[in-house]
Amino acid sequence: MMMRPDAAFWQGKRVFLTGHTGFKGSWMCLLLHRLGAQVTGYALAPPTHPSLFELCRIDSLIDSVSGDIRDSQQLQTALLQAKPDIVIHMAAQPLVGLSYQEPVATYETNVMGTVYLLEAVRLARNAGIPIRALVNVTTDKCYENKEWPWGYREVDTLGGHDPYSNSKACAEMVTACYRAAFFQQDGQAQDLPPIGLATARAGNVIGGGDFTGGRLIPDLLRSLLADQPMQLRHPQAVRPWQHVLESLHGYLLLAQRLYGDSLRYSCSWNFGPDANDAKSVEWLAARLCQKWGKQATYEVDERASFHETTYLRLDSSQAREKLGWRPHWTIEQALDRIVEWTRAYQQQADMRQVCFAHIDQYGKEGAS
């Protein structure tokens, strides 16, 4: 049986979530709301229009604070006012392509943004706010990619050829430093238990409601909706594709364990799909065309303008053995959910209810 987030645990928990207006952050808001948590989100305005955040009217479900992760003073003020039990850090500049165009902003957001968040948590703890767990979401791309066909483990070397990947490797090291120097040593408030601090490295997350340019599934869906051939770059690149709910359930399971046993679970964690669901870009495009129907097609664009790795897989054995987490939906099922979501969006359905239905479906099937 797959372990799931415990609704009894999350009921009433105060959660401070950065990056809540993005694709993953919006799904996390919906999931936490479904579990009964009290969420304070901190982020800039939604990065796309349309956006999942707006379509699902998420600002009416949580306390939404508009702010830049690079504004340390505003971030500290928002966190102090929220008085959270748990912090989940998802704010980021998440695109490899954009990191080549804006490397300084990428490092400012992904590295210094992490520093400011960790510092805000440290100051809040010293002020007596009993934060018990912090999950910093980084990426599967934080590893030094050696183009090998087996999955990377949490103990493998960090690196990154592009500014995005490298900045996330830096964020991993910043987190490890704060954990050792402040959160589990004498520098913390003496009357509070050590804070659980972990990093989470997920695979290539896909799902309904992602409108981000430069990502495979949103770009493909835009082409399908326009009845145009999909354009592929790096068709033979292999990635660990997984539905967004897979990784989010992993993050919440990790937060639960950190809350109860900070020392044991304070480390880095991979959340990736089964090995046979690491597929090539072209395989994914062909399957999506087949599921979409209407003679959908794709073309290969040979004008790739920046370096991307060819092989990337994750070994998630640690999460399976120590958290009881495992992938539940196959890549085929994930694509089915994406097509369902997009068809509902075409028909102007209530997308909040569509997302809740997918969350509930995932939870019920995961318990079987």
Q: What is the pLDDT of residues 222-280, one digit of tens each?
A: 888 888 887 887 888 888 999 999 999 999 999 999 999 998 999 999 999 998 898 99
Average confidence (pLDDT) over 207-218 = 92
Choice between 214 and 309, residue whose per-residue pLDDT is larger: 214
342-365, pLDDT tens digit by residue? 999 999 999 999 999 999 999 887
- Per-residue confidence (pLDDT) for residue 300, from 0 to 100: 83
The domain ranges of the chain are 11-366
Split at pLDDT 50, 70, 90, the class of 86 is very high
Split at pLDDT 50, 70, 90, the class of 189 is very low
d(CA 262, CA 273): 26
Give, for 77, the enclosing helix (H) or strand (E): helix 72-82
101-140, pLDDT tens digit by residue? 999 999 999 999 999 999 999 999 989 898 999 999 999 9
Split at pLDDT 50, 70, 90, the class of 302 is low
Split at pLDDT 50, 70, 90, the class of 340 is very high
Split at pLDDT 50, 70, 90, the class of 368 is very low
pTM: 0.94
- The answer to whether the beta carbons of residues 268 and 196 sit under 8 Å apart is no
Give, for 238, the enclosing helix (H) or strand (E): strand 238-243
End-to-end CA distance of the chain: 7
CATH of 11-366, one of 3.30.70.360, 3.40.50.300, 3.40.50.720, 3.30.70.920: 3.40.50.720
- Per-residue confidence (pLDDT) for residue 206, from 0 to 100: 96
Given 3-state DSSP classes, what are the helix, strand and coil percentages for the chain, each rounded to the nearest 5? 45, 15, 35
- Per-residue confidence (pLDDT) for residue 186, from 0 to 100: 46
> Which residue in 124, 247, 113, 271 sits closest to 195, CA to CA?
124
- Per-residue confidence (pLDDT) for residue 146, from 0 to 100: 87
Q: Percent of the chain, pLDDT > 70?
A: 94
Of 4-13, 136-145, 224-233, 313-322, least confident by mean pLDDT is 224-233
